[in-house]
C-alpha cells in the first residue's frame, strides 16, 4: 500500500475521534483553578453515595399505580445507554427500596455507614444490578454533571518525588482541617442547593508528601500549592480507578492485603523502612475504589479476617493498611449473596457485628409474566436467531411456567395458581379487585424467593433452538425441554417439588390450548368492528335489564325490552346457567363501574370472561363459512382450501406465524374441534 494510501486511512480513522471530549476528560489545572470550578459547580465535591443517587435519578423516573400503591420505576436500570443487555425487568419495587436506601445515604441519614447486601435466589439479577451500577458510574463520571477531580504532586526539580494520589482523593482535603471549614465558607464554595462539606484527612502517601513539602517551605501553604496539579478523574473498572471488585477465593490463599494494599519490598531498600508510605502500594480494592464503588461477590463467603476490614470500612469509613494509621475512605460498599449463605450468617453468633452493619435488600424472582417474558425476548428476539422462526406464545408459555413455580398456592378458596398468576400480571378476573391482589401479595411472604431461575429457562430455550430441524420452534418443543430437564436439575432435588413443577407444565399446556383456540377463532371471525358492535349491544341490553329500563333500538329508534335471546346466546358460551344470569349481569355492570371509578375505559376485551364469550359467539355465527374439522380430513375441496389459506394468511400477518407454525396450529386446533372440545 502506498504511503499516501496509508496516511489517508489513518486520517479517516482519526477523524472518528472526539478530540474535544478527550481533552475535557483529561483536563488538568492548578489548585486555584479547581477552586473556581467548585464555585461554579459545587456538586463536584459530592460523596460517593450522593453521586450514585444523582446518577440513578439523572436517567429519569416514571411513576405508576400498582394495586393502589405508587410505584417509581427508575429508567437507569433499563436504560440502553447504561445497561443495554443488562437491563432489568419486573423488579420495580425491590429497586425502588434500593434507591430509597441510596437517597437516605446521600442525605447522610445512616445507610452510608452500612454494607448494602443484595439477597435473593440464584439468577435473580443481584450481580446484574451491581454491574449496572459500575457501568453507570463509569459513564456518569464522563459527563459534565458527573465530573469529579483528584490531584497529584509535581516536583520538577526532583521528579522522583512526583506522586499521583493513589486513592484519588478529593483535592479539598489539601486544606488543613484546622481552617478547612472557614476557608470553604469565606471562599463561597457552595450554594443553597449544594453545601460543600469535605471530611477526612489525606491518605498516608499524600500526607507524607504534604508534611515534607510544608517543611521545605517553612509552613507556607501557598507555596505548597504550586506543586499541586488537579485533574479530571474518570472512573474505570478496567483501569482500577474508582471501582473495585473482590471475589473470595480458597480460604488458604486469601490475604487481607488484597483489600488494603501491601508493602513494596523492592522500594524498602530505597527508602530504608517498610513504614515509609513511598514503600507501600496503596492498591487494594478498598484503596482503588475510593470515591466510587466496591463490589463484594458472594460477600458472606469472606474469611473472618476480611470481615474485620469490612466492619471498619462501613461504619467508620476507615481502613487499616499494614503499618499505617487508619485511612479514611468514601465509597459505596455493596455485596450480594444467596439464600443458603445468608442463613449461615443468621445462625453464626460470631457474625453479629456484620449483621448489625448490614442493610439487606431482597431481590426476588419476577412474579409478572409480562415482565419475565421481556428477559427471554431480549436474548431470543427474532433478529438474534434468524435461522429459526419462534412461533407466537413460545416465550410466553416458558415465562408462565417459570413464574408459576415461584408463586405460593393461593389460600383463597376457588382461586387457582393460574388465576393468581393472571391477577399478578394485571389481568382482570370476575370477583377479584386490586384489593384482593394486594391481600394475595401480603399473605405470600416468600413469593419470588424460590422457584425456577430464568437461567434454566434460557438454557432450555437454547436447547430447543439448536435441536429444531424444521426451521420453526413452537411452545410444545420448549415445554418438553423444560419438563425433560427437571429430571437432572441440580437445584430441584425434592421429589415433591419436581412433581409439582411437572404438573405446572400440564397446566401451561392447557392454557396454551385455550390461547391458540381463541387466536384461530379470532382469525376466522377477524372482524374487530363486528365484535365491538356485539359487545356494545350486549352491554346496552344488560344495562337496561339491570336498571329495569327499555333499550333504544339503534336502527328503528324505538324503545324496546332488553333482548333476552341475544344476552343468553352470549352467556351460554361460557356456561352461565339461567339461574345465574342475573348475578353475572350485575357483576359485569359492577366491573364497568369499577373501571370508571379508576378512570379506565371499558373495552370489549377488558373483562376476560366476557371477551371469551363474545369471541365464541361471533365464531359460532361465522364458523359455517369454514369447517375446521375438514383440516384433519385427507380430502379438502378447493373452496375450503381457499378459506383455510385466508385464515392462515391472517395468522401470519396479524399474529406473527410463519407458514410452518400457522399450518401446525390450524391442524392442532382442528384436532381439538374434531374431538368435540369446542371450548
Note whether residue 342 is domain-resident: yes
The answer to which of 163-172, 526-535, 605-614, 632-641 has the lowest mean pLDDT is 632-641
Note whether residue 60 is domain-resident: yes
CB 206 within 8 A of CB 169: yes
CB 651 within 8 A of CB 519: yes
Residue 83 has pLDDT above 60, yes or no: no
Note whether residue 51 is domain-resident: yes
How far apart (Å, rounded) are the C-alpha atoms in residues 17 and 15? 5
Average pLDDT for residues 190-205, to the nearest whole number?
A: 92
Split into its structural domains, the chain has a count of: 1
Q: Nearest-CA neighbor of 450 among 417, 418, 486, 406?
A: 406
Residue 152, classed as helix, strand or coil, is strand
Residue 633 has pLDDT above 60, yes or no: no
Q: What angle do CA 365, 368, 374 make, to 5 degrees?
A: 85
Q: Nearest-CA neighbor of 376 among 386, 390, 362?
A: 390
Average pLDDT, the chain: 87
> For residue 89, what are the CA distances in angstroms to 75, 304, 366, 401, 641?
10, 36, 8, 17, 44
- The per-residue pLDDT for range 283-342, each reduced to its tens digit, is 999 999 999 999 999 888 877 777 788 889 999 999 999 889 999 999 999 999 988 888
Beta bridge partners of 332: 293
CB 193 within 8 A of CB 241: no
Residue 554 has pLDDT above 80, yes or no: no
**Residue 302 pLDDT:** 78
Note whether residue 106 is domain-resident: yes
**Residue 477 pLDDT:** 92
Residue 96 has pLDDT above 60, yes or no: yes
Residue 662 has pLDDT above 50, yes or no: yes
**Residue 468 pLDDT:** 64
Average pLDDT for residues 232-241, to the nearest whole number?
A: 96
How far apart (Å, rounded) are the C-alpha atoms in residues 313 and 309? 6
**Residue 520 pLDDT:** 83
Which domain CATH number covers 90? Answer: 3.40.50.300
- The per-residue pLDDT for range 479-491, each reduced to its tens digit, is 999 999 998 887 8
Note whether residue 331 is domain-resident: yes
* Most distant CA atoms of the chain, gap in Å: 109
State the angle between helix axes of 394-406 and 454-467 in degrees (0 to 180), rounded to the nearest 10.
150
Residue 1 confidence class, pLDDT cut points 50, 70, 90: very low
How far apart (Å, rounded) are the C-alpha atoms in residues 511 and 507? 6
**Residue 676 pLDDT:** 57
Note whether residue 175 is domain-resident: no
- The per-residue pLDDT for range 156-174, each reduced to its tens digit, is 988 888 999 999 999 999 9
Q: What is the pTM of this model?
A: 0.84
CB-based contacts of 137, cutoff 8 Å, min separation 6: 51, 52, 55, 235, 242, 243, 292, 293
CB-based contacts of 402, cutoff 8 Å, min separation 6: 365, 372, 451, 452, 454, 456, 457
- The per-residue pLDDT for range 372-418, each reduced to its tens digit, is 999 999 888 877 777 889 999 999 999 999 999 999 998 887 889 99
163-164 vs 115-119, strand pairing mode: unpaired
Average pLDDT for residues 242-250, to the nearest whole number?
A: 87
* Burial degree of 116 (CB within 10 A; 0-12, 13-18, 19+): buried
Q: Grid coordinates in use for 16?
A: 472518528
The number of residues making up the chain comes to 679
Note whether residue 315 is domain-resident: yes
Residue 679 confidence class, pLDDT cut points 50, 70, 90: very low
Note whether residue 16 is domain-resident: no
Residue span of the structural domain in which 98 resides? 41-148+233-364
How far apart (Å, rounded) are the C-alpha atoms in residues 374 and 93? 17
Amino acid at each position: 500500500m502506498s504511503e499516501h494510501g496509508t496516511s489517508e486511512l489513518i486520517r479517516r480513522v482519526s477523524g472518528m475521534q472526539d478530540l474535544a471530549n478527550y481533552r475535557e476528560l483529561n483536563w488538568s489545572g492548578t489548585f486555584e483553578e479547581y477552586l473556581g470550578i467548585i464555585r461554579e459547580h459545587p456538586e463536584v465535591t459530592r460523596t460517593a453515595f450522593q453521586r450514585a443517587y444523582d446518577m440513578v435519578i439523572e436517567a429519569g423516573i416514571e411513576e405508576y399505580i400498582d394495586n393502589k400503591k405508587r410505584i417509581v420505576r427508575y429508567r437507569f436500570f433499563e436504560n440502553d445507554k447504561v445497561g443495554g443487555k443488562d437491563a432489568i425487568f419486573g423488579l420495580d419495587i425491590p429497586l425502588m427500596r434500593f434507591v430509597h436506601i441510596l437517597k437516605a445515604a446521600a442525605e447522610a441519614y445512616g445507610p452510608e455507614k452500612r454494607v448494602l447486601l443484595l439477597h435473593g435466589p440464584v439468577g435473580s439479577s443481584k450481580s446484574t444490578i451491581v454491574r449496572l451500577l459500575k457501568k453507570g458510574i463509569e459513564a456518569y463520571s464522563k459527563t459534565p454533571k458527573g465530573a469529579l477531580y483528584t490531584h497529584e504532586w509535581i516536583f520538577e526539580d526532583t521528579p522522583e518525588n512526583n506522586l499521583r494520589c493513589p486513592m484519588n482523593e478529593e483535592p479539598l482535603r489539601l486544606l488543613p482541617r484546622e481552617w478547612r471549614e472557614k476557608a470553604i465558607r469565606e471562599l463561597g464554595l457552595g450554594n443553597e442547593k449544594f453545601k460543600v462539606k469535605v471530611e477526612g484527612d489525606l491518605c498516608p502517601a499524600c500526607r507524607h508528601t504534604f508534611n515534607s513539602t510544608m517543611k521545605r517551605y517553612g509552613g507556607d501553604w501557598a507555596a505548597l500549592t504550586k506543586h499541586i496539579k488537579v485533574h479530571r478523574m474518570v472512573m474505570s473498572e478496567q483501569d482500577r480507578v474508582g471501582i473495585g471488585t473482590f471475589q473470595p477465593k480458597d480460604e488458604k490463599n486469601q490475604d487481607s492485603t488484597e483489600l488494603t494494599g501491601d508493602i513494596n519490598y523492592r522500594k524498602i531498600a530505597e527508602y530504608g523502612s517498610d513504614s515509609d508510605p513511598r514503600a507501600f502500594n496503596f492498591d487494594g480494592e478498598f484503596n482503588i475504589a475510593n470515591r466510587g464503588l466496591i463490589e463484594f461477590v458472594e460477600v458472606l463467603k469472606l474469611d473472618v479476617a476480611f470481615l474485620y476490614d469490612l466492619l471498619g470500612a462501613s461504619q467508620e469509613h476507615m481502613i487499616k493498611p499494614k503499618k499505617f494509621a487508619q485511612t479514611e475512605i468514601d465509597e459505596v460498599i455493596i455485596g450480594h449473596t444467596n439464600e443458603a449463605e445468608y442463613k449461615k450468617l443468621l445462625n453464626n453468633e460470631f457474625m453479629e457485628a456484620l449483621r448489625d452493619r448490614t442493610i439487606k435488600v431482597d431481590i426476588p424472582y419476577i412474579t409478572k409474566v409480562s415482565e419475565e417474558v421481556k428477559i427471554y425476548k431480549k436474548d431470543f428476539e427474532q433478529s438474534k436467531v434468524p435461522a429459526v422462526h419462534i412461533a407466537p406464545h413460545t416465550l410466553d408459555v416458558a415465562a408462565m411456567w417459570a413464574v408459576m413455580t415461584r408463586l405460593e398456592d393461593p389460600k383463597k378458596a376457588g382461586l387457582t395458581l393460574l388465576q393468581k398468576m393472571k391477577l399478578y400480571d394485571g389481568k382482570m378476573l370476575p370477583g377479584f379487585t386490586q384489593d384482593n391482589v394486594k391481600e394475595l401479595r401480603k399473605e405470600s411472604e416468600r413469593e419470588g424467593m424460590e422457584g425456577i431461575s430464568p437461567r434454566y429457562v434460557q438454557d432450555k430455550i437454547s436447547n430447543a433452538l439448536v435441536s429444531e430441524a424444521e426451521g420453526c420452534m413452537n411452545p410444545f418443543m420448549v415445554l418438553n425441554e423444560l419438563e425433560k430437564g427437571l429430571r437432572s436439575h441440580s437445584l430441584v432435588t425434592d421429589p415433591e417439588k419436581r412433581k409439582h413443577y411437572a404438573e405446572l407444565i400440564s397446566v401451561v399446556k392447557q392454557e396454551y390450548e385455550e390461547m391458540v383456540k381463541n387466536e384461530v377463532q379470532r382469525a376466522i371471525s377477524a372482524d374487530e368492528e363486528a365484535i365491538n358492535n356485539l359487545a356494545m349491544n350486549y352491554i346496552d341490553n344488560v344495562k337496561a335489564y339491570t336498571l329495569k329500563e327499555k333499550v333504544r333500538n339503534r336502527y328503528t329508534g324505538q324503545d324496546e325490552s332488553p333482548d333476552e335471546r341475544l344476552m343468553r346466546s352470549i352467556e351460554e358460551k361460557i356456561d352461565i346457567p339461567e339461574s345465574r344470569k342475573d348475578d353475572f349481569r350485575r357483576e359485569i355492570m359492577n366491573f364497568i363501574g369499577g373501571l370508571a371509578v379508576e378512570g379506565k375505559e371499558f373495552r370489549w376485551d377488558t373483562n376476560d370472561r366476557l371477551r371469551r364469550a363474545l369471541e365464541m359467539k361471533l365464531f359460532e355465527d361465522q364458523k359455517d363459512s369454514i369447517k375446521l374439522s375438514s383440516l384433519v380430513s385427507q380430502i379438502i375441496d378447493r373452496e375450503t382450501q381457499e378459506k383455510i389459506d385466508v385464515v392462515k394468511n391472517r395468522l401470519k400477518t396479524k399474529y406473527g406465524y410463519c407458514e410452518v407454525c400457522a399450518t401446525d396450529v390450524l391442524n392442532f386446533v382442528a384436532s381439538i374441534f374434531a374431538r368435540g372440545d369446542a371450548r
